Amino acid sequence: MNTLPRFFALLLAAALIGPACSTTPDPAEKDAMERERLAREVDDELLVGREIASRLLGRFQHYEKNRAAIEYVNLVGATLAAQNGRPELRYRFAILDSDDPNAFACPGGFIFVTKGLLKLVKNESELAGVLGHEIAHVNEKHMYSTIVPKREVSTSETFVRLLSRGKSEIGSNLAQIVDNGMKMLMESGYGKEKEHASDQAAALYTKSSGYDPMALLPVLERLKEASKSSKLSKTHPPFDERTASFQAFLKENDLKSTLSASRQQVMEARFLAVLKKEAL
Amino acid sequence: MKPAILMLLLCLPVPNGVAAETMYVQAQKAGVLAEAKSGAAAVTELARGASVSVLEKNGLWYKVQVENKQGFISRLFLSPNKPVGAAELAKANDVSLEKANRRRSSSFAATASTRGLQADERVRQGREMYQADFRALQKVEKYEIPADRLQLFRKQAGLE
Ligand SMILES: [Zn+2]
């Protein structure tokens, strides 16, 4: 920003808030400013997330054939997001037409599972575990904070940008940011710490939604088998280590499967009704 | 420094560094637990928007004070932001799909052109590996589960 317009913006800001803030700032005004800041952050996250999500959809095909399967994934996802999501985001769940079992999360709440993943999971809690893991990548900004460099802005600068509804953090770097995001998804992965952290979050999320918090464990075992013949291993840390770390976390936290037989039955029935292997 | 600027700086909200950090519950409900582990008994249960004073941070678990009670809550369910719903945020700030699309095309065209190429051209020339499918994305964004359908789905299986 040039010095001169910035100076005038500051003057304007002072003139605007001068009379109002001789004591402490009005809480309502402070809330409005906070909301404005959050809105811009979400705006930026969505800008980046949409670019990356659209490229995933271009790389794989959007699976639209089985409407019941799409609805089911969305219902389980929305159930988790309602309890565990960042309230400022709208999470979207979609299926990619690939037989390789995998799942992806993009900034802003775009979450994808492949057809192959839906064939790999054996019950609703397992699907919830996978979606919870991806929701955690979004909530914790595992990709976004890596690909979008955080610029330190002074309070006064933040304030000026609030008034002018100014430039986003993305600026002229969008193309590079998107390339780096796709690279993370398709090649380099998030790294061990973030994968372990998302597994742990998935356990807490599934538990708080009423699913079996241990359900991700058998999924990891099956993914390990599947990774021997797919590209999954490239973007994911060694499954043995992941499983061990997850087991330790479950134990530390006294997390156990506590689904009643009747609840399990309901979930079993609707899972089988929708996700029979031959239906996909 | 001009007096006006000085005044502005003096007026800006000062972070209260000495007091315990206030955080807000983002989950629909979250238990404050007797011990720093998920399986521990709940001391009290908080709803979305409730505020807690953070006394100690230890990895995934924060020790917090709520009124006269102390306990542990996972940081995953907390944020320094007061929770604002997506719909409310969008309404307050006019974040519409159309606007996002406009912003996308202008912003992306600008960045691609700084590298001398448009996005499609970059794909064709192998500068960009993945072709974007924005039509598919718009379908994904338009898909909506009716609230009563979700409600029923959760209720049937006793989900929170
Ligand atoms: Zn992951």
Please report, as a single letter, which amino acid is at residue A70.
I
What confidence score (pLDDT) does residue A147 get? 95
pTM for the model stands at: 0.83
Q: Does A187 touch chain B (CB under 8 A)?
A: no
Which residue reads 């708080």 in tokens?
A: A208
A91-95 long-range contacts (CB < 8 A, ≥24 apart) are A91/A135, A91/A138, A92/B140, A92/B141, A92/B143, A93/A131, A94/A57, A94/A62, A94/A63, A94/A70, A94/B140, A94/B143, A95/A62, A95/A63, A95/A69, A95/A70
Give residue-wise pLDDT tens across range A169-218.
Answer: 677 788 889 999 999 999 999 999 999 999 999 999 999 999 999 999 99
The first and second tokens of residue B48, run together, are 């979305």
Residue A87 has its nearest CB partner, among B12, B26, B156, at B26
- On whether residue A133 sits in a domain, the answer given is yes
Q: Is the pLDDT at A116 greater than 50, yes or no? A: yes
For chain A, how big is the Rg over CA atoms in Å?
Answer: 22
Range(s) of the domain holding residue A88: 6-16+23-279
Instruction: Report CA(B61)–ligand 1 centroid distance (Å).
Output: 21
pLDDT-derived band at B11 (thresholds 50, 70, 90) equals very low
Which residue reads 């304030």 in tokens?
A: A159
The total number of residues shown for chain A amounts to 280
Closest CA to A96 of A48, A126, A45, A58: A58
Q: Are A222 and A175 in contact (CB under 8 A)?
A: no
ipTM comes to: 0.84
Q: How many structural domains is chain A composed of?
A: 1
- On whether residue A244 sits in a domain, the answer given is yes
Taking CB atoms and an 8 Å cutoff, what residues of chain A touch B152?
none
The first and second tokens of residue A70, run together, are 């799409």
Give residue-wise pLDDT tens across range A21-61.
Answer: 445 678 888 888 888 889 989 999 999 999 999 999 999 99
Residue B107 has its nearest CB partner, among A22, A86, A174, at A174
**Interface touch A50/B110, C-beta < 8 Å:** no
pLDDT-derived band at A167 (thresholds 50, 70, 90) equals low
- Report the residue of A33, A36, A48, A57 to disrupt the B interface, i.e. the one with the largest count of B CBs within 10 Å: A57
Q: What average pLDDT does this structure show over A152-173?
A: 59
**Interface touch B11/A22, C-beta < 8 Å:** yes
User: Which residues, numbered 216 to 245 in chain A, qualify as contacts with chain B under a Cβ-Cβ cut-off of 8 Å?
Assistant: none
Give residue-wise pLDDT tens across range B84-127.
Answer: 998 888 776 654 555 555 655 555 555 544 444 455 556 655 66
- On whether residue A208 sits in a domain, the answer given is yes
Which residue reads 């004591």 in tokens?
A: A23
- What is the distance in angstroms between the Cα of A92 and the nearest Cα belonging to chain B? 7
Q: Which domains does chain B have, with CATH numbers?
A: 21-79 (2.30.30.40), 86-156 (no CATH)
Hey, CA dihedral for A251, A255, A260, A266, is it positive or negative?
negative
- Could you give the CA distance from residue A209 to residue A135 in angstroms, rounded to a whole number? 13
Instruction: Report CA(A124)–ligand 1 centroid distance (Å).
Output: 19
- Could you give the CA distance from residue B147 to residue B87 in angstroms, rounded to a whole number? 14
Which residues contact residue A105 at a Cβ distance below 8 angstroms, ignoring those fewer than 6 apart? A111, A112, A134, A135, A137, A138, A142, A143
**What single string gives the DSSP state of each residue in B5-43?**
HHHHHHHSPPP-SSSPEEEEE-SSEEEEESSSSTTSPEE
Closest CA to B77 of B104, B100, B48: B48
3-state secondary structure of B121: helix
